[in-house]
Structure formats: structure tokens, C-alpha cells
Amino acid sequence: MTASLIETLTTRGLDIGLKILGAFIGYMIGRWLISFAVSLMKRALTARNVDATLQRYLGNIVSVLLHIALVVAILGYFGIETTSFAALFAAAGVAIGMAWSGLLGNFAAGVFLVILRPIKVGDFVSVGGMLGTVKEIGLFVTVIDTPDNVETYIGNTKVLGDTIQNFSSNPYRRVDLKAQLDHTADVADTITRLKDKLAAIPNVVAKPAPDVEILEYSLAGPVLAVRPYTHTDNYWQVYFEGNRVIREVGGEASLQPPKQHFGIKNVA
């Protein structure tokens, strides 16, 4: 009897071991096939010039659905009733959905972001209180790289429910600078010099031409608004070179550094 029991356990153990090994191999092959299928789909979408944002979003959805199908298939391989499992999975999904309504909200917001397309991959944006370049619009979160190179994840509901600024939508944007003049400075001459030098900065667009006008008056003298225009990709290059131009014009004696005046009042 003991020998028979040992033989039975050995046989069953071998069967279970082979099934586990087969399931593992099937899972690895399935994952490779899913990755291959998603890759083929993305290539087909790229060939048809489908937007990169939509490609990644559809790729994520297809990948999740195929992985669920793979898990169900493996459970069926072990003899588990997949119809019962599907019903259980659906019930669990409803329960999780009720508990994690925010997660479903993020999913729905992601769908609207892809359909409405206020932003897309590669755009420089301000969303959810964060500034950066869109790296991915996922199922539940939007990923951006901030200017200081920090990968940041923002829930899609926060992205869609808050103010969205897309700095890449328009062909150019304004760079706001200021130049402080002395009271004795020749304003007209300074404006002419600044406009000429700003127009010579690389990546400053010709139309509209740079704006240089009196913005306000301070105790030191007139303050000029210096506003060249450029594409958002070149914003900081134009910003820094614009400040250099202001300094150069100042060195030509039309622009003077602001003077600070202090008075001492004797209160007796």
C-alpha cells in the first residue's frame, strides 16, 4: 500500500510539475507573442501616420487585454473552469471599480485626452500644476519630463480637470524680457538698437517682429518691455541671448544700470 501511495504521489507530482513547466513556458511564449503583436500593431499605425499618443494608448489597451486572455488560458490549462473565472473576474472588477472609482475616472479621462487631443507626446505643456514635455499618455496617468529632467506621473483626471497650457500648439511664443533705462538715456535710440540686435538672434522669428516699447516708469527711469518671438523649443536660447543683447546695448551707453538712492531722515 505504501509503495502504491508513493507511486501515485510520484506520478501526480510529475504531472503537476510538467503542467507547471508547461504553463511557465506557455506564459513566456505568450508574453513574447503579445509583445510581438503590439509591436506589429504600432508599426502598422506608424505606417499610416497615426499620432504617437494614440499609438501608445492603443498599445497599452491591447497589451492589457491580451495579458488577461493569456492568464485565463493558463488557468484553463490547469483545468480551472474559465467561465466561472470570467464571472468572478467581472464581479471582482465591479467591486474594485466601485472601491477605486478614481482609477476608472483616470481611465475615462485618458480616453478623452486621446480623443480631444489637447496635448500629445512631445508637446511642452503645463498640466496638473506641472511644467514639462509629454512623454506618454497612459491608461491612468500622463507622464512628463520636467525641465530639470525629472520623470513625473500625473493622474489623467487631474490633467483633464485642471487648466492645460500647451506651449507647442502655436508656431511661436513670446519671450518676455525687461530693460531698465536711466533717466538720461535716449529711449528712441535704445529701442532701435535693441530691435536690430534682437532680430539678429538665431531662431527669433521675423514675423511678428520683436516688440520693444516703454512698459512703465520706475524711480531709476523708463523700463522697456523687450519681447522677441520664437518657437517653444528655442525659448531658453532666445531668453538668454536676449538678456545678453540687453547687456551689450547697455555697454554702448544707451542703457544704464538702475541706480538706487537712499535717504536718511532724522526724526527728532
Fold of the domain spanning 173-251: Alpha-Beta Plaits (3.30.70)
Is it the case that residue 267 has pLDDT exceeding 60? Answer: no
Is it the case that residue 262 has pLDDT exceeding 50? Answer: no
CA pair distance 197, 182, nearest whole angstrom = 20
Residue with cell 500500500: 1
Q: Please spell the DSSP secondary structure of 134-188, one letter per residue.
A: EEEE-SSEEEEE-TTS-EEEEEHHHHHHS--EETTSSS-EE--EEEEPPTTS-HH
Band (pLDDT 50/70/90 cuts) for residue 158 is very high
CA pair distance 34, 37, nearest whole angstrom = 5
Taking only the tens place, the pLDDT of each residue in 186-234 is 889 999 999 999 999 999 999 999 999 999 998 888 999 999 999 999 9
Q: Where are the domains of the chain?
A: 7-99, 112-166, 173-251
CA pair distance 35, 59, nearest whole angstrom = 10
| CATH number assigned to the domain with residue range 112-166, chosen from the 4 options 1.10.238.10, 3.40.50.720, 2.60.40.1180, 2.30.30.60 | 2.30.30.60
Taking only the tens place, the pLDDT of each residue in 59-93 is 777 777 777 777 777 777 766 665 665 655 665 55
Mean pLDDT (the chain) is 81
Mean pLDDT computed over 39-66: 75
| CATH number assigned to the domain with residue range 7-99, chosen from the 4 options 3.40.30.10, 1.10.260.40, 1.10.3720.10, 1.10.287.1260 | 1.10.287.1260
Decide: 137 and 199 in contact? Cβ < 8 Å: no
Element (H, E) at 244: helix 235-251
Q: Is 116 left (phi over 0), alpha (psi -120 to 50) or beta?
A: alpha
CA pair distance 239, 50, nearest whole angstrom = 34
